[in-house]
């Protein structure tokens, strides 16, 4: 079945780095834009970053620009988020999500993983 | 503070209809068709309920419908059921330089 599974979350100190992974299965991964979104404890959803099908285009929220890097490996159906210079305000559940459109984007996320928790605390 | 404004809570009785509003600007909701709605139960991942203003993904009940007028989008749930109790989030593409997709702050739906 169509599935996304995130991994790599954990507890880190401010200023440290972490790399999140998202394994996709059950669909043609290379046909879809992919995004990372996050949700701080008790708060709403926040879009973080997206990457196009062939990695030609990426975009980031200002809150993470210059600190986070999104990438993908279409051969291995995987999405990544390299996070550096982490701050307390980055503490959240991080979700990877599939854009519903094929070979494009309609900014609608129709498949989500269960999320991985990132806690930034000294 | 979220860029899109939603009511914090709404409620309704089983069988009734409710509408959740989502207000933005001409740089997001008013300017583009890329408005989506998500349902999220506690501890779960969000679920796409509506995309491109008024389209339902396969498998989503036709009790859920979306619309847009000017800078405000709306989600209507008819024939309320107990399992509809959840948080609902609107989202929109935005031409803002600081974001690509913005979300509303979420609306807690209580089925009385």
Q: Which of A5, A44, A98, A114 to mutate to test the interface with B (most CBs of B within 10 A)?
A: A44
State the smallest CA–CA distance between residue B1 and chain A in angstroms. Answer: 10
Work out the pLDDT band at B2, boundaries 50, 70, 90: low
Q: How far apart are CA B2 and CA B102, in angstroms?
A: 8
* Per-residue model confidence (pLDDT) at position B49: 98
Please name which of B7, B108, B37 lies closest in space to residue A42, comparing C-alpha atoms: B108
Mean pLDDT of B68-94: 97
Touching check for B98 and chain A: CB below 8 Å? yes
- Tell me the C-alpha distance between A69 and A63, whole Å: 12
Which pLDDT does position B36 carry in this prediction? 98
**Would the CB atoms of B51 and A95 count as touching at under 8 Å?**
no
pLDDT for B23: 97
Low-confidence stretches of chain A (pLDDT < 70) are none
Q: How far apart are the first and last CA of chain B?
A: 28
Tell me: the pLDDT tens digits for A32-57? 999 999 999 999 999 999 999 999 99
- Return d(Cα B91, Cα A85) in angstroms, integer: 28
Q: What pLDDT is stored for residue B6 in this prediction?
A: 97
Name the residue facing B2 among A44, A61, A114 (closest C-beta).
Answer: A44
CB contacts of B47 in chain A (<8 Å) are 112
Min Cα distance A3 → chain B (Å) is 12
Of B52, B99, B106, the CB nearest to A61: B99
With residues binned 3-state (H G I as helix, E B as strand, rest as coil), the percentages for chain A, rounded to 5, are 5, 50, 45
Q: Helix/strand/coil (H, E, C) string of B47-76?
A: EEEEECCCECCCCCCCCEEEEEECCEEEEE
Mean pLDDT in chain B? Answer: 95
A39 closest CA partner among A101, A108, A94: A94
Query: Can you give the pLDDT at residue B1?
Result: 64
Q: Quick one: average pLDDT of B56-72? A: 97
How far apart are alpha carbons B105 and B42 in whole angstroms?
Answer: 15
């Amino acid at each position: 079945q169509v599935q996304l599974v995130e991994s790599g979350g954990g507890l880190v100190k401010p200023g440290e780095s972490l790399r999140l992974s998202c394994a996709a299965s059950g669909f043609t991964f290379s046909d879809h834009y992919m995004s990372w979104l996050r949700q701080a404890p008790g708060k709403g959803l926040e879009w973080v970053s997206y990457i196009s099908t062939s990695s030609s285009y990426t975009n980031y929220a200002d809150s993470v620009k210059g600190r986070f890097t999104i990438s993908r490996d279409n051969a291995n159906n995987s999405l990544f988020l390299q996070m550096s210079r982490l701050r307390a305000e980055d503490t959240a559940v991080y979700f990877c999500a599939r854009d519903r459109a094929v070979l494009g984007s309609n900014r609608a996320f129709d498949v989500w993983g269960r999320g991985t928790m990132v806690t930034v605390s000294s | 503070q979220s860029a899109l404004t939603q009511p914090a809570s709404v409620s309704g009785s089983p069988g009734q209809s409710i509408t959740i509003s989502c207000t933005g600007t001409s740089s997001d909701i008013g300017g583009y068709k890329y408005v989506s709605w998500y349902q999220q139960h506690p501890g779960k991942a969000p679920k796409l309920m509506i995309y491109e203003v008024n389209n339902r993904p396969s498998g989503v009940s036709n009790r859920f419908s979306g619309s847009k007028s000017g800078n405000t989008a709306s989600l209507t749930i008819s024939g309320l059921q107990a399992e509809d109790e959840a948080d609902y989030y609107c989202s929109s593409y935005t031409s803002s330089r600081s974001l690509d997709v913005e979300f509303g702050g979420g609306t807690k739906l209580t089925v009385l």
